């Protein structure tokens, strides 16, 4: 098992954003967290990535509490692609990807030959090698997201956490990113934890889904089974029909009206 979070409670200014959430991510799995706005998806992901402190509960990464492991060591096991990122106007793709080697560098050390090879490899895997000399800000949405994923990949971790990797991208870029994530999972065995808004994408690309509502896990399990009409009504407040997507062999949700 890669990650085990139990009874996670997070408070934001007196309000409980997470009220005792437990989550497990097994090796080589794609786990997607879904839920309406304000249900605590991003909070959960930030807690797992130690960007926010948890008030109760614990998060275990490979048998150790993440708050007892030095942050640099965690960064060798778990890479993060947050929602909010910033780059300077003149940041080149290759430079960005090379920062992925930071957790492996000793104090004041430069990139070794091995580090540079890994940066090459990460760019190759994400199809960004042709973009290496481009400014990150001049890239298209999909290219930019691939460059960030390349940076995370260069960390050479077993786990990759992505917070809404498809938000603000148009549909072809969304697919581009999700296909890449799936490919990295299949070919490299990297465990994936991500937050998605699109329910159909979540069903199609995940091994397991966690449905969050009001800071609690409403349900979790096989994507083909847990998103019933009742769940959609209770959690997302919509009436929907569920069809079968024959090509991808999974359910397909068509929302009809707001409850």
Partner 1 sequence: MNSKKQKLMILVFMVLTIVIFLLSVGNGAVQMSPVKIIETLLYDKGSTSYQILWNVRIPRTIIAALVGINLSLAGVVLQGIMRNPLASPSTIGVSAGAGLVGLIFLILFPQYYYLAPIGSFLGALGATMLIYGLAWNGGVMPTRMILAGVAVSSLFGAGNNALMTFYPERVSGVLNFMVGGLASITWGDLKLILPYTIICSMILMCLPTRLNILMLGDEVSTGLGLNVEKTRFIFIILSSFLAGSAVSVVGLLGFVGLMVPHITRMLIGSDHKYLLPACILTGSSFVMICDTVSRVIFSPIEVPVGIIISAIGAPFFLYLLRGKGGLSYGHKRK
Query: Which residue of 112, 130, 168, 179 would you call a contact of partner 1, by CB under 8 A?
Result: 168
CA 78 to chain CA mean position, Å: 11
Stretch that binds partner 1, among 20-28, 93-101, 201-209, 237-245 (CB under 8 A): 93-101
With respect to partner 1, which residue has the nearer C-beta, 99 or 252?
99
Each residue 115-144 as x (binds partner 1 by CB under 8 A) or -, in order, gives ----------------------x------x
Q: How many CB atoms lie within 10 A of CB 201?
A: 19
39 touches partner 1 (CB under 8 A)? no
Q: How far is the CB of 85 from partner 1 (least distance, A)?
A: 5
DSSP 95-125: HHHHGGGGGGPPTTPPP-HHHHHHHHHHHHH
87 touches partner 1 (CB under 8 A)? yes
Q: How far is the CB of 151 from partner 1 (least distance, A)?
A: 8
Q: What is each CA distance from 127 to 102, 139, 250, in whole angstroms?
A: 21, 13, 28
How many chain residues bind partner 1 (CB under 8 A)? 41
Distance CA 49, CA 195 (A): 13
Distance CA 111, CA 97 (A): 12
H/E stretch holding 134 reads none
Q: Which residue has the tokens 């069903």?
A: 203
Please name which of 20, 28, 32 lies closest in space to residue 58, comparing C-alpha atoms: 20
53 touches partner 1 (CB under 8 A)? yes
Query: Which residue of 15, 63, 68, 90 would you call a contact of partner 1, by CB under 8 A?
Result: 90
Subset of residues 196 to 255 that bind partner 1, contact rule: CB under 8 A = none
Distance CA 191, CA 184 (A): 9
Question: Can you give the binding site for partner 1, defined by CB under 8 A?
Answer: 46, 49-51, 53, 71-76, 78-91, 95-96, 99-100, 102-103, 105, 107-108, 137, 144, 152, 155, 161, 167-168
């Amino acid at each position: 098992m890669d990650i085990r979070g139990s009874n996670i409670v997070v408070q934001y200014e007196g309000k409980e954003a997470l009220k005792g959430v437990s989550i497990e991510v097994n090796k080589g799995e794609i786990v997607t967290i879904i839920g309406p706005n304000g249900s605590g998806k991003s909070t959960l992901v930030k807690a797992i990535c130690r960007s926010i402190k948890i008030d109760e509960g614990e998060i275990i990464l490979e048998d150790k509490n993440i708050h007892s492991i030095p942050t640099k060591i965690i960064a060798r096991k778990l890479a993060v692609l947050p929602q909010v990122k910033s780059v300077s106007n003149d940041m080149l793709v290759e430079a960005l990807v090379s920062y992925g080697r930071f957790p492996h560098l000793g104090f004041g050390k430069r990139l070794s030959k091995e580090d540079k090879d890994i940066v090459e490899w990460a760019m190759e895997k994400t199809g960004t090698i042709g973009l290496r000399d481009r400014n990150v800000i001049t890239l298209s949405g999909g290219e930019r997201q691939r460059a960030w994923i390349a940076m995370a990949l260069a960390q050479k971790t077993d786990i990759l956490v992505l917070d809404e990797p498809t938000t603000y991208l148009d549909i072809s870029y969304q697919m581009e990113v999700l296909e890449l994530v799936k490919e990295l999972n299949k070919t490299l065995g990297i465990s994936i934890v991500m937050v998605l808004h699109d329910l159909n994408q979540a069903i199609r690309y995940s091994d397991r889904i966690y449905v969050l509502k009001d800071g609690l896990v409403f349900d979790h399990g096989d994507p083909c089974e847990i998103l019933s009409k009742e769940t959609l009504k209770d959690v997302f407040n919509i009436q929907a029909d569920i069809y079968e997507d024959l090509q991808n062999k999974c359910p397909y949700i068509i929302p009809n009206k707001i409850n």
